[in-house]
Every structure is written in structure tokens, then in C-alpha cells.
Structure 1
Amino acid sequence: MLILGLDPSLSCTGWGIVRAEGSRISHVANGQVKTDAKAPVAERLHHLHDAIFAVIGQYAPDRAAAEEIFVNKNPQSTLKLAQARGAILAACGRASLSVSEHAARAVKKSVVGTGGAEKAQVQAMLKVLLPGVKVEGADAADALAVAIADAHLGRG
């Protein structure tokens, strides 16, 4: 089973793919999709959609997972996150790929063992769970964590 983990953001969306075979998890690929902050929002969303759709086409994951949306103190940041998520989820829908959602605390607990883990702790555990893997940045690391959590948490 190939699982695509997604860490949506308008500026830099992380993605990571893991193979889950029973309780064994192995790395397949990871990366980040960056958008030009000077470009119009519509162009940035189009770029995110097309890039994630291309990843899905290249690796043919069986399912996808993303963190549940959270509300920032800044409403503009929340709106940008929601728009980016929409573009990414639309790419999954276009590919007929189902997407599960997990709370950030559940992802951290699944990967580190505590829901209050810091980003550095999550990244350290990725090195343990996926030894020798070159992670393409913090957003890709978060996406891999989402994919690993989805493998552990399963689906109903």
C-alpha cells in the first residue's frame, strides 16, 4: 500500500510517500512544491494543483492523508492555508484518490509517542523510522510524518 502524505501550504507544500506492508514502513519519495510569493494567488493554486497531480500520476499512491485544518490567529493565514488545501485536495479528487485527515496531535503521537512533540522531535523520529532517507525539507518531513501516521492509524 502506497500512502501519500501532504502538508499543505500556499508558499511550500510538502509531500511524502511511504510503502506500508503490515507494520513495516519504507520510504518511497518526498519533496516540496514551492510557489512564487509574487505571483497571483490563482497562479500559485494552479501550480500546487498541477504539481501534486503530477506526483500522484508518477507514483500512483493507493490513498492520501493530510493534517486536519487548524485556525491561525491571523485570518489571512488561515484563508491561504484553506485555499492551498483546496487545490491539493482537488488534485487528489481529480485522480480519484481518497484522502483521510488526521489531527496534528494524532500525527505527532503516532510518530513520536506524544501529541505535544516539537517539529525537531518529529524530524528526529523520521531518521529512526526511515534510516538513511534524505528528506527534502521541513515541509516534506511533515508530509512523511502524516503518511506514517496514516499507515499506523489506518482507516475505518
Structure 2
Amino acid sequence: MRVLGVDPGLTRCGVGVVEGRPGRPCALVAYYVVYTDPEDDLALRLLHLDRSLGDLVSEHRPDAVAVERVFSQHNVRTVMGTAQASGVAVLAGARAGLPVTTYTPSEVKAAVTGSGQADKKQMTTMVTRLLRLPEPPKPADAADALALAICHVWRGGTRSKLAEAAQRARRGGTR
């Protein structure tokens, strides 16, 4: 399974692509950070993000997209930009006909480190180890996106298989 993970942000949007199977180590395919200029018009920033994510989906042909779920932050302006970037990421996956799953930060932390309370340094260390990278992915947005992709391979892949099996059972078919 190939998963494109997105750590949404309007100024910096992390994107990570991994391949793997539940219960097995994942392999790095690529990672990126899509930047937009805070001085640019919002519509142009969202358009740039949309085009960039669409291009990455086309280039890497993932089986699924995993996006960090927007959670309440103290800075309303920051959460608005993150929510807008998240919507663009979800749309990029949907436009390509891919399943899109959102995960809370604590779900991703628990999947990757074993603790939903892990800090950024612990997350980056585990992503580096799990993907057997010679050095940590930088900036942190890229490491977070890779963590989302790993989380989906390990958790979402299992969920998808269970959902498919349940759907086949409802239809009365086996495969």
C-alpha cells in the first residue's frame, strides 16, 4: 500500500509518501514541503497548494491519502489557515478518486511512538528509525506528514481490509 500523508498548513504543508503493509516496516518513497508566501492573496495560496498536491498525487499514485485532522488551537488565524489547507488536501485525494482518512495528532503519535503524548522530537526520532533514514527529515512538517502516512499504513490499512471484508460479507460474496 502506498500512502500520501499530509500535514496541512497554509505557509508550510508537509507531504510524505511511504509504502508498506500493516505489521511490516514501511519504506520511504519521498517527502516534500509545499510553501506559500503569507504576503500573497489567500486564493492564490490555496490554488498553489491545490496544484502542488494534485501534482504529487499524480506523480506518486498513492492508494490512499491521510490528512491530519484539524484540532482546536489557541490562535484562530492559524487554525483557519490549517483548516483551509486541510480541505485542499482532502479535495486533492477525492479528486483522484482515492480514499481519504483524517487522523488526530494523538492517533498519529500513538501509532508511531506508542504514546499519544509524544513530543515533536520523539516523533521525528521514530519516523527516522522506522523508515531507516540516515538523518531526520526536515523540516518537522515533512516528518509529521511521513508519520501520518505510516499511521495510515498500520492502522488505516487494517481498517480498510476489515471494511472491505464486511462489505463482501454483506453482499454474500467471498474473495
Shorter-chain TM-score bucket reads: over 0.9
TM-score, normalised via structure 1 length: 0.94
What is the Cα deviation at residue 133 of structure 1?
Answer: 5.2
- The answer as to whether partners of 1:19 and 1:26 remain within 8 angstroms in 2 is yes
Partner deviation per Cα, 1:23-73 (whole Å, 9 max, x = no partner): 231111111000011100000000000000000000100001012110111
Q: For residue 123 of structure 1, what is the amino acid of its counterpart?
A: T
| 1: CA distance, partners of 2:118 / 2:32 | 22
Identify the residue that residue 171 of structure 2 maps to in structure 1.
none
Identify the residue that residue 9 of structure 1 maps to in structure 2.
9
- The answer as to whether partners of 2:21 and 2:153 remain within 8 angstroms in 1 is no
| 1: CA distance, partners of 2:126 / 2:38 | 31
| 2:16 match: secondary structure | strand
Choose between structure 1 and 2 for higher RCO, CA contacts under 8 A separated by at least 6 residues: 1
Identify the residue that residue 87 of structure 1 maps to in structure 2.
88
Identify the residue that residue 155 of structure 2 maps to in structure 1.
153
Percentage of matched positions with identical amino acids: 37
- The answer as to whether partners of 1:31 and 1:136 remain within 8 angstroms in 2 is no
What is the Cα deviation at residue 136 of structure 1?
Answer: 3.9
TM-score, normalised via structure 2 length: 0.85
- The answer as to whether partners of 1:31 and 1:137 remain within 8 angstroms in 2 is no
Identify the residue that residue 25 of structure 2 maps to in structure 1.
24
- The answer as to whether partners of 1:27 and 1:133 remain within 8 angstroms in 2 is no
Identify the residue that residue 69 of structure 1 maps to in structure 2.
70
| 1:56 match: secondary structure | helix
- The answer as to whether partners of 1:2 and 1:19 remain within 8 angstroms in 2 is yes
Q: For residue 12 of structure 1, what is the amino acid of its counterpart?
A: R
In the alignment, which of 143, 146, 149 is matched to residue 144 of structure 1? 146
| 2: CA distance, partners of 1:124 / 1:81 | 24
Structure 2: runs of 5 or more not aligned: 164-175
Structure 1: runs of 5 or more not aligned: none
Cα RMSD after superposing both structures: 1.3
Identify the residue that residue 166 of structure 2 maps to in structure 1.
none
* Structure with the bigger percentage of strand: 1
| 2: CA distance, partners of 1:110 / 1:21 | 14
For the pair shown, the structure with the greater C-alpha radius of gyration is 2
| 1:24 match: secondary structure | coil
| 2: CA distance, partners of 1:84 / 1:133 | 30
